[in-house]
Amino acid sequence: MELTAGIIADHLKGEVVGNRDVVVTGVSRIEQGKAGTACFLANLKYEKYLYVTKASVVLINRSFSPSREVHTTLIKVDDAYTAVASLLAMFTTQKKKKGWEFPHSISRKASIGRKVYIGAHSYIGKRARIGNGAQIYPQVFIGDNVRIGAGTILYPGVKVYDDCIIGENCIIHANAVIGSDGFGFAPESDGTYRKIPQTGNVIIEDNVEIGANTVVDRATMGSTIIRKGVKLDNLIQVAHNVEIGENTVMAAQSGIAGSTHLGPNCMIGGQAGIVGHLSIPARTLLGAQTGVIGQVKEEGSILLGTPAIDHKIFMRAYARFKKSGMKN
């Protein structure tokens, strides 16, 4: 695909500084920019590459002013990082797979919508319902009574256990497991543990994306709920009866213990952990490796460390630790 700087700017509601007619055919990183490609500058740590890049077009923030002469065409936008997502979409045309591949196993009691792709070695159980345009890649398991919404993509090896519900336009990446048993065991007097039956399900609302090898456990009773717009990275553990509020994002290797509720628009850093039975309010930010062991009271809190404390207190404490270490 060929796009001019002018076409890109019009699409992004940006302003061209330079040649509106310069043509680009793809995208690149600013430090590896090549002629005929477009890139972006959002993090000022990469500003030095702006003055030497061979890319034909660079997206920049309107608020940014170059400190030296720039030899490439610029497009000023409100937020370069957000705009690059739209730019990538302009060059990406995802081709949907079509038809049913063999062998596969589909219950006669399942309901399959129109224009659904079903990959080889997939299994679809009794009374499962697959919405129009869904993409079921090879080796996917879909249990009995499962509902998959229209336009949802299940990549190879995804497992969706019985009774779980996945909304429309979701993306579940390879080998994710939806609806496995929650970690529920009752201690016995002889030191053994009795398994507590996990009788609930998982409900995933619309426009959710779940990364590879992430696990969302079914509820002991009721539902584990992932609200609309949530984005989960790879290798995340979501325990039984957790509820994650809409538009919350979680980075890799983080985990939430049972019955904890996260409010909307939270941001959870990599390897962060949250113990069970807590309520995390809206817009809470947890830095990487933060451990939350008690209630978070205020919306918009920014927490670091284990046990988690306010980020300003953490940074002051870190400065004192660092200073003390230098003296020693």
194-252: per-residue pLDDT in tens? 999 999 999 999 999 999 999 999 999 999 999 999 999 999 999 999 999 999 999 99
Q: Across all residues in the chain, what is the average pLDDT? A: 96
Could you confirm whether 240 is annotated as catalytic? yes
Q: Are 100 and 118 in contact (CB under 8 A)?
A: yes
Q: Quick check: do 3-91 and 105-303 share a fold? A: no
Cα–Cα distance measured from residue 131 to residue 135, given in angstroms and rounded to the nearest whole number: 9
Given 11, 121, 173, 240, the catalytic residue:
240
Q: Which residues of the chain have pLDDT under 50?
A: none
For the chain, the domains span 3-91, 105-303
Q: Note the pLDDT of residue 95.
A: 74
Contact 57, 72 (CB under 8 A): yes
* Backbone conformation region of residue 218, classed left if phi is above 0, alpha if psi is from -120 to 50, else beta: beta
CATH of domain 3-91: 3.40.1390.10
* 105-303: CATH superfamily: Hexapeptide repeat proteins (2.160.10.10)
Q: What is the pTM of this model?
A: 0.88
Q: Which two tokens stand for residue 138?
A: 């090879």
- Whole-angstrom distance, CA of residue 123 vs CA of residue 129: 13
Pairwise CA distance, residues 43 & 24, whole Å: 22
Pair of tokens at residue 13: 């509601």
Strand order in the sheet with 171-172: 117-118, 135-136, 153-154, 171-172, 209-210, 231-232, 249-250, 267-268, 285-286, 302-304, 309-310
Give the number of residues written for the chain.
328
pLDDT at 1: 81
